[in-house]
């Protein structure tokens, strides 16, 4: 499942680093100098390349250091995970053209019947039930693609945090 990171995440990190240097006068500052010499241009460009590749390496190392639990905590810092509220959300939503609430409540009557009343227990229970459903269908291409897309977006988010802190660290020197 880790092959979701092959090109997209690397491209994102490289693009983010280059955009930072472009927007902070990194490359444009080099090109706008009046008395630029070829040697100075090459030195400045190498400086940008070395700093960028260093930040790139740190971002990927940090991404590998974070465990899935920490990444999940950071991504869902201000909200519940979708699996923790999925059945409550389905029950509340009255106008979804993909299904009727009556059909969902009938199909998952055992899930709804055993739903705990306390908020924490309810979230844990819903997440367990949702994972059970996912586990049954995880080898279907559409489900696999969605899982890879989620992991890619999660890692792009984490990489953005890493890039931000690396730049702040770089700028403090």
Mean pLDDT per segment of 10 residues, for the chain of length 173 residues? 64 77 59 64 75 78 86 92 91 77 88 94 96 94 91 88 81 75
- Residue 47, sorted as left (phi over 0), alpha (psi -120 to 50) or beta, turns out to be alpha
Query: CB 157: neighbour CB atoms within 10 A?
Result: 13
- pLDDT confidence of residue 28: 52
Packing angle, helices 38-65 and 141-171, rounded to 10: 120
Number of Cα atoms under 13 Å in the Cβ half of residue 79: 7
Percentage of the chain surpassing pLDDT 90? Answer: 31
- pLDDT confidence of residue 111: 93
- pLDDT confidence of residue 81: 93
* SS3 state at 94: coil
- pLDDT confidence of residue 32: 59
Q: Are 158 and 71 in contact (CB under 8 A)?
A: yes
- pLDDT confidence of residue 116: 95
């Amino acid at each position: 499942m880790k092959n979701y990171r092959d090109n997209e995440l690397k491209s994102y990190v490289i693009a983010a680093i280059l955009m930072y240097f472009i927007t902070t006068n990194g490359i444009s500052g080099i090109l706008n100098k009046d008395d630029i010499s070829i040697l100075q241009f090459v030195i400045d460009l190498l400086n940008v390349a070395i700093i960028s590749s260093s930040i790139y390496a740190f971002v990927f190392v940090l991404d590998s250091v974070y465990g899935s639990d920490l990444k999940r905590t950071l991504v869902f810092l201000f909200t519940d995970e979708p699996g923790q509220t999925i059945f409550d959300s389905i029950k509340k939503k009255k106008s979804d053209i993909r299904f009727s609430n009556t059909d969902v409540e009938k199909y998952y009557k055992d899930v709804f019947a055993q739903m705990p009343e306390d908020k924490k227990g309810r979230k844990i229970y819903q997440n367990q039930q949702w994972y059970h459903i996912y586990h049954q269908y995880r080898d279907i291409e559409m489900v696999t693609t969605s899982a890879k897309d989620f992991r890619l977006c999660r890692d792009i988010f984490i990489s953005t945090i890493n890039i931000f802190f690396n730049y702040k660290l770089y700028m403090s020197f």
